[in-house]
Structure 1
Amino acid sequence: MTAPRDLTGRDDVLAVVTEFYRRAFADGVLGPIFRDVARLDLAAHLPVIADFWDTVLFRAGTYRRNLLRVHADLHEEFPLTAAHFARWLALWARTVDELFAGEKADLAKAQAVRIARSLVRRLRHEDASELNTIEVRP
């Protein structure tokens, strides 16, 4: 068995998000939110979220929506908790790890943590500045 390779572009991003959402829809915690509350149309959503991650990982510049607004609207309908985001992160990391390994795969997981933390703070109307989370290194 060969070791997984690193993410190299949009096709790889699409593979990760497709598998992630397959798992998320089947998940006991996240599935009802995606299926019943957000009522995600995967055929429409997958290209958009692939644009997002392609922009995050490869600076593609193809994502043109407001990630916070989407989650804030959902949060008004169904309060999203830190536990929901923790579950999302665990499922995301497991999916990335099972499909890919390398610098971009690590970045996908690290950026997911940053995004989740920021969304949780913003949904709670707390300071979302990354300045309060930057560690000063000697």
Structure 2
Amino acid sequence: MSRDLQDRSDIEDMVGEFYRRAFADPLIGPIFTDVAEMDLDRHLPIMCDFWETVLFRAGLYRRNALQVHLILNALYPLRQEHFDRWLALWVANIDEHFAGEKAELAKVQARRIAGSILRRVRGRSGSEFETLRPHRTWNGEETVDAP
């Protein structure tokens, strides 16, 4: 039976296994290895700090995660399917190894983060709740569209 995420060691296991899968994935692996030229040994402690901060409020991560993705997007346009695959690998990894409140929080937060970063690299608000704006169509009728 799986147990919940409890400490840094669990975070390291979760994040390490996820990135091993992500680096090997045919869709998103090349983004990590060829575009970002990511050094996994250097990257893992940073991501462990991030997830320990998200899940346990450790206060260890003080970088700008969005900025990294904006730079990456300028080099190689990130698409919906990249975020979908990232999220599918993340959720599958957690479901295989952990169960409980923190494991569920890790999945919920990953969905929020992926959605927010995708919206931001597309030049939109990070919020999934954007204001609807009325405008006139070519024939003068008023309609409402999201930005």
Aligned with 2:39 (options 27, 31, 41): 41
Aligned with 1:11 (options 3, 9, 12): 9
Q: 1:13, CA displacement in angstroms?
A: 0.6
- 2:29 paired residue number: 31
- 1:72 paired residue number: 70
The within-5 A match list for 1:104-123 is 104-123=102-121
- 2:94 paired residue number: 96
Hey, what's the Cα distance between the residues in 1 that align with 2:12 and 2:50? 10
- Write out per-residue CA displacement over residues 23-75 of structure 1, whole angstroms, 9 at most, x where no aligned residue: 11111101111110111101100000000000000000000110000000000
- 1:135 paired residue number: none
1:87 partner amino acid: R
Gaps of 5+ in 2: 131-147
Structure 1 SS opposite 2:5: coil
Q: Which 4+ residue blocks in structure 1 deviate beyond 4 angstroms?
A: none
Structure 1 SS opposite 2:45: helix
Gaps of 5+ in 1: 133-138
Aligned-pair identity (%): 59
Give 1 or 2 for the bigger CA radius of gyration. Answer: 2
Equivalent residues of 2:115, 2:128 under 8 A apart: no
Give the number of the structure whose residues are more often helix, by fraction. 1
- 2:84 paired residue number: 86
TM-score, normalising length from structure 1? 0.92
Hey, what's the Cα distance between the residues in 2 that align with 1:35 and 1:60? 29
- Write out per-residue CA displacement over residues 55-109 of structure 1, whole angstroms, 9 at most, x where no aligned residue: 0000000001100000000000000011100000000000011110000000000
